[in-house]
Amino acid sequence: MSVNDPAEITSALREERKFPPSRQFSERAWIKTLAEYEALCRRAEQEPDAFWAECAREIDWFQPFDRVLEWNFPFVKWFVGGKLNACHNCVDRHLNGPRRNKVALLWEGEPGDSRVLTYQMLAEEVGRCANALKALGVGAGDRVAIYMPVLPEAIVAMLACARIGAIHSVVFAGFSADALADRINDAEAKLCITTDGGWRRGQAVELKRNVDDALARTSSIEKCLVLRRVGNAVAMRPGRDLWWHEVVPGQSPHCEAVAVDAEHTLYTLYTSGTTGKPKGVVHTTGGYLVHTLMTMRWVFDLRDEDVFWCTADIGWVTGHSYTVYGPLAAGATLVAYEGAPNYPENDRFWQIIEKYRVNIFYTAPTAIRNFVKWGDSWVERHDLSSLRLLGTVGEPINPEAWMWYHRVVGKERCPIVDTWWQTETGAIMISPMPGVTVTKPGSATRPLPGVVAEVVDRQGGPVPANHGGLLVIRRPWPGMLRTLFRDPQRYRDQYFSQIDGVYFTGDGARRDEDGYFWIMGRVDDVINVAGHRLGTMEIESALVSHPSVAEAAVVGRPDDLKGQAVAAFVTLISGKQGTDGLREELRTHVAKHIGALARPDYVRFTEALPKTRSGKIMRRLLKQVAAGDETLGDTTTLEDLSVLSRLREEE
């Protein structure tokens, strides 16, 4: 992995505006005063084990744990000896009291259909699905690939896996057949759950066809369970493919939740890293649930009467932690929406907020920048007075987008929680506590209690306030990844070998004079496009797999809407011409190999790539070219650049 020199991480951003929470908000919040907040942080710092043990008592254990933490660097175990079940905690636990008939899920389909499930109804659906999984031969420890849009059944399928101790591996339905096949193969999944298709801006996306293509390249899948969603024609292979409606509804709704070890794997989720191969991040049961549940309270200030909406797709970690496990563990009423924010028109999100009287709304900066572009009038035609708290996640939010969110959506009344975390951290790590923290637009503010985050130089030494450095976490936390699926060495190399003794996040950051963190984005070869993490190496390997391409280098280029856009520099094998036709072909080629989200925005043909003497592509230079060169996209060669790089090396 190449890590940029932190001294070069500079930030022009100096934001002076400050926003304290209103008295009305603070008075009703879980954490009301700075003194309370500081007491919590002090306790977490001085007696971390006792602190996290108290947090862990907020969930149900079938068997209590003996030890809070076992830290055998860099491998960790939390709540050792405890037994529990995540599905029991998200569903059954709420059935014995006043939440029994509370709405768990307010689901909205893109075409305008909707479904409401109470906790009791959810319990029955999950029970039937869990029995169906068993009937299909799935047991504890088996991997199940879920390739579905945001549908009630997708959430049901995740919980059903958890109920029987199977490990789900959700693959974002926007990924291509190739990407799905890679993930199925790495996980050696036994069952795949999918739909005939999915709705996206009024079009039916043929998911089952992608699954068929993927399964042609995999050998571990025994059965494929297919939910009918859009009604398109699909091929059902006899003996392998089964309709959900023929298998699930006939099952008994009763299925015992198995008691699993606190460290039993709850799920794997593939995320982009600095090599071409996606990493299977492993999350286990006890610590993950405790961490997600506590953040529902600390960060989202969730109360029983709240309607909570996280707009993330279940294909990403945000969808796992804040569309499914966090809110359900907390007994919340959550909203989930299947489709695009601009279908049928640009006000779909605001319409949904008004329809369900959403109180807490959590979305991505890239979405907010689109809303800004579409104009205030789409927001203003809806009554958003139910909103009381807003959140963002996925990438740094620029202060102007923050101000717009604050003013136009929150009507200067709702605190904004800018939450920093990662697939690997499992749940939120750095964020305001909305009743207490004075926010500054663009800053995720301070670490949560029990989270020891620091900004350091390459050697792990401290850097002064307001100097750029690398963001690291010093102590283990309950929601952290435990390893990479079947690759503990890569886990160690990736996260614990860059800087001695600490977890390295891959992000650059600075801490200001008030101890607030300002995240400056990735310093490794990962780019963040519209809040989605993509490894530049993945896109490069996809490009190089095209018969005309000799070599490729991919970098991020600043983009007003997407945060970063994908810029590809490509050298062709001799005799091939860099035509507009080929450029389009390469873009489509990447979309086919990875998914539309990775499609390069710019493809530039070049005679040679700038390299160091040891043959390493000088991405930093390419980034500068990509950022500064308005003519990017034409076919001028970059020979001058290789000269430049040689000059640089000799400096």
For the CB of residue 274, give the shortest distance to ligand WTA in the complex, in Å.
Answer: 12
Positive/negative CA dihedral, 367, 373, 374, 378: positive
- Provide the 3-class DSSP secondary structure of residue 601: coil
Listing from the earlier edge strand, what are the strands of the sheet with 167-170? Answer: 241-243, 223-227, 191-195, 143-147, 167-170, 265-271, 279-284, 483-484
Angle between helices 177-187 and 580-593 (to 10 degrees): 30
Q: Note the residues at the interface with ligand WTA (CB under 6 A).
A: 271, 316-318, 393-396, 418-423, 444, 505-507, 519, 521-522, 528, 533
**Euclidean distance between CA atoms 155 and 366, whole angstroms:** 25
Q: Which residue, 426 or 476, has its beta carbon nearer to ligand WTA?
A: 426
User: What would the two tokens of residue 333 be?
Assistant: 């009423």
Q: Are 533 and 594 in contact (CB under 8 A)?
A: no
For the CB of residue 400, give the shortest distance to ligand WTA in the complex, in Å.
Answer: 15
Q: Which residue, 127 or 432, has its beta carbon nearer to ligand WTA?
A: 432
Q: Are 529 and 556 in contact (CB under 8 A)?
A: yes
Q: Which residue, 110 or 424, has its beta carbon nearer to ligand WTA?
A: 424
For the CB of residue 362, give the shortest distance to ligand WTA in the complex, in Å.
Answer: 11
For the CB of residue 52, give the shortest distance to ligand WTA in the complex, in Å.
Answer: 21
Q: CB-based contacts of 182: which residues, under 8 Å, 6+ apart? A: 277, 278
For the purposes of burial, counting CB atoms within 10 Å of the CB of 1, is it exposed (0-12), middle (13-18) or buried (19 or more)? middle
Burial call 352-361: b when 16+ CB within 10 Å, e when fewer: bbbebebbbb
Q: Which residue, 149 or 273, has its beta carbon nearer to ligand WTA?
A: 273
CA-nearest of 66, 53, 104, 62 to 85 is: 62
Q: CB-based contacts of 82: which residues, under 8 Å, 6+ apart? A: 56, 61, 63, 64, 65, 66, 261, 262, 286
In the chain, the amino acid numbered 335 is: V
For the CB of residue 509, give the shortest distance to ligand WTA in the complex, in Å.
Answer: 9
Q: Which residue, 341 or 506, has its beta carbon nearer to ligand WTA?
A: 506
For the CB of residue 443, give the shortest distance to ligand WTA in the complex, in Å.
Answer: 9
Q: Are 149 and 319 in contact (CB under 8 A)?
A: no
For the CB of residue 281, give the shortest distance to ligand WTA in the complex, in Å.
Answer: 8
Q: Are 610 and 637 in contact (CB under 8 A)?
A: no
- Provide the 3-class DSSP secondary structure of residue 272: coil
For the CB of residue 233, give the shortest distance to ligand WTA in the complex, in Å.
Answer: 35
Q: Which residue, 295 or 505, has its beta carbon nearer to ligand WTA?
A: 505
Q: Which residue, 118 or 318, has its beta carbon nearer to ligand WTA?
A: 318
Q: Which residue, 165 or 506, has its beta carbon nearer to ligand WTA?
A: 506
Measured from the Cβ of residue 444, the count of other Cβ atoms closer than 10 Å reads: 27
Q: Are 153 and 179 in contact (CB under 8 A)?
A: no
For the CB of residue 527, give the shortest distance to ligand WTA in the complex, in Å.
Answer: 9
For the CB of residue 268, give the shortest distance to ligand WTA in the complex, in Å.
Answer: 14
Q: Which residue, 206 or 507, has its beta carbon nearer to ligand WTA?
A: 507
For the CB of residue 53, give the shortest distance to ligand WTA in the complex, in Å.
Answer: 26
Q: Which residue, 145 or 473, has its beta carbon nearer to ligand WTA?
A: 473
Q: Which residue, 210 or 528, has its beta carbon nearer to ligand WTA?
A: 528
**Euclidean distance between CA atoms 568 and 573, whole angstroms:** 16
